[in-house]
Structure 1
């Protein structure tokens, strides 16, 4: 049975994660490694590689460094973000966990709006304008427009400054703290989408505010 190289590599102790190679088309996969791969340098064949691998996984000679954070320490994030990134974070694949979290945000926006756009263009069309497709603002009165515009920029910034650079594979590897903070941000963005989808209508809000109702 043949196994795709990326599927094999993903389970190796030196693999940090995988991602979309070109960041846009989804036609290529990039396997991201860290310095632990150097411990296989000079292996003459698959048998020697496997011996070293067993030593790594067994923790002999201090070679294997397993993840030091478990999934529970990711925090109470949005269920969709937990589903996308929780296990990757627990396994120590921090950069890939961040990427998957923001791809989950992007995918949900696509689903709700029915758009095939991605990244910055998607977020600008979904959250921009005076009457956005997804209205994530909770403020009322003069502050509403500012909150809408501010969150639009947050969604755009999340795609350009967090998702895309990891999808391209050009970003330094994240540590657990950086990844946890980024994933918490993705969770906030996902919860605001919940608010936009489930927000009460003006009529419902007036009824609930009326003490006689």
Structure 2
């Protein structure tokens, strides 16, 4: 038995905040009867028809400041947008799928926090990765004044690149056999080639969150986050 604590739902590369339950997926298939006059033993026979990956049901506490999570789900519902989702389990397995948001609700009850619920209908074939991807073997950022802390380690997923004074930074992620995607403040920026610097990421005074997702086919992704802080 595995503990559920630490399970995340990712929209693009952004974790939806303040969830207490992630339900699904619930796979099913239609059946087509194949019984004929020649069928034996008096039993009906069947074959599998079209498959349906069901829905993912989400519940938790309403967080209107969760721009790239709960608010993104609401916006996707309003706009009818198809989004990529990942249910990432803490023991290294993951569901990945595309889906549309079919319901969003909030609720207020006496002596309880304001609730948030959403339903995501899976579109097409989902993928169940039973083992984690190898992930990155190296991660480096370049930008005058910046320093990556802590030093990169494959098993550490949270970093800071502070003290930047340059107008832009670049990211170089290395991972043999990995599909590597770069997101800037939750928005997809570009696909990265292993060991090759990204395009320049413009910086203004303040911070930006860079998310690097490394994934192998039919395996669970590894997600690395770097908060870049420009001070001058």
TM-score, normalised to structure 1's length? 0.26
Q: Which has the higher strand share?
A: 2
Greater relative contact order structure (CA < 8 Å, 6+ sep): 1
Q: Which has the higher helix share?
A: 1
